[in-house]
């Protein structure tokens, strides 16, 4: 067990901002995605684990501080010299003499940026710079807090693809805080769902999907026509612009898809849609924490 969180409470003044009532365990090789709206307690959870805020409860780990690494949402570095020298000074090594550092620089296509000062880097280049610094720690457990925040869609997508490729097949454990569903789809195999400072659920993505959405879901754009067309089928909670139909059997799925094709309606079929999973988990939040 790398990390265990039990009976955690975080207060800012008289306000309770985060409560973890049931144990959350992170094991070697876990890729945990932490999801929730603004103010849900995502960054507060990370700060608690890292000892950056006061809390009540128990956080147990066998890891030494140097075995944990963190990429925070906002980072700043000196502009007195190029990022090449910042990188070498912080890491205590020369790029020319460090094979892994050169490998990371090449992998993230950062070589052409080394002569620039930090403020001259684009948003995506700044994130790649910090990611390289974090990865060089070779930590057993790494935290990424909104690693693509402020980036445009294309830059965000490319960066997440790079992260997923780098960690594929490796044993390092990750905790990824994000409000982008597609990022967690690529980087996480477990989900910790937070809402208004409370844990909604925690477990493997596939198990949570079956629990809240069933075998599969068919999603279409919301319209009066589609609403009427699918009126006979079981609906799941969905964002206002979508209609989600639960398909608890192959027969139901076949019936729904044939109906939609016959009416030339575009649809998406999924058995791991994190947005629909998240929406339905929050909808039944009143039942409290759900076991894995």
Has residue 164 got a pLDDT over 70? yes
Other beta carbons within 10 Å of 153: 10
Has residue 85 got a pLDDT over 60? yes
Buried b (16+ CB within 10 A) or exposed e, 264-274: ebebeebeebb
- Return the SS3 of 7: strand
The whole-number pLDDT of residue 129 equals 95
pLDDT digits 0-9 by tens, 244-283: 999 999 999 999 999 999 999 999 999 999 999 999 999 9
CB 154 within 8 A of CB 182: no
Q: What is the Cα–Cα distance from 258 to 52, expressed in whole angstroms?
A: 54
Has residue 290 got a pLDDT over 70? no
Q: What is the Cα–Cα distance from 176 to 173, expressed in whole angstroms?
A: 10
Buried b (16+ CB within 10 A) or exposed e, 100-125: ebeebbeebebeebbeeebeebeebb
Q: How confident is the model at residue 289 (pLDDT cuts 50, 70, 90)?
A: very low
Read off the DSSP letter of residue 112. Answer: G
More confidently predicted of 76 and 191: 191
Least confident of 17-21, 150-154, 160-164: 150-154
Alpha-carbon 39 to chain mean position: 16
Q: Which two tokens stand for residue 48?
A: 């608690």
């Amino acid at each position: 067990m790398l990390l265990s969180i039990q009976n955690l409470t975080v207060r800012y003044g008289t306000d309770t901002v985060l409560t973890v009532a049931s144990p959350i365990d992170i094991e070697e090789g876990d890729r945990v995605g932490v999801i929730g709206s603004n103010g849900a307690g995502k960054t507060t959870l990370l700060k608690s684990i890292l000892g950056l805020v006061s809390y009540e409860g128990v956080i147990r780990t066998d890891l030494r501080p140097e075995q944990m690494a963190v990429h925070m949402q906002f980072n700043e570095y000196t502009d007195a010299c190029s990022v090449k020298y910042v990188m070498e000074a912080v890491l205590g090594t020369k790029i020319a003499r460090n094979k892994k550092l050169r490998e990371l620089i090449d992998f993230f296509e950062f070589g052409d940026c080394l002569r620039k000062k930090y403020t001259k880097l684009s948003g995506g280049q700044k994130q790649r710079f910090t990611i390289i610094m974090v990865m060089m720690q070779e930590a057993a457990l790494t935290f990424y807090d909104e690693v693509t925040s402020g980036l445009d869609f294309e830059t965000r997508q490319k960066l997440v693809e790079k992260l997923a490729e780098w960690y594929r097949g490796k044993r390092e454990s990750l905790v990824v805080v994000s409000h982008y569903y597609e990022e967690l789809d690529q980087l996480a195999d477990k989900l910790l769902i937070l809402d208004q400072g409370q844990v909604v659920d925690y477990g493997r993505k596939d198990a949570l999907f079956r629990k809240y959405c069933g075998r599969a879901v068919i999603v279409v754009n919301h319209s009066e026509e589609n609403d009427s067309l699918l009126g006979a089928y079981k609906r799941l909670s969905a964002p206002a612009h979508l209609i989600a139909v639960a398909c608890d059997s192959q027969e139901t799925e076949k019936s729904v898809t044939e109906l939609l094709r016959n009416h030339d309606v575009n649809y998406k079929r999924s058995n791991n849609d994190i947005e629909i999973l998240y929406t339905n988990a929050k909808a039944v939040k009143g039942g409290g924490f759900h076991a894995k």
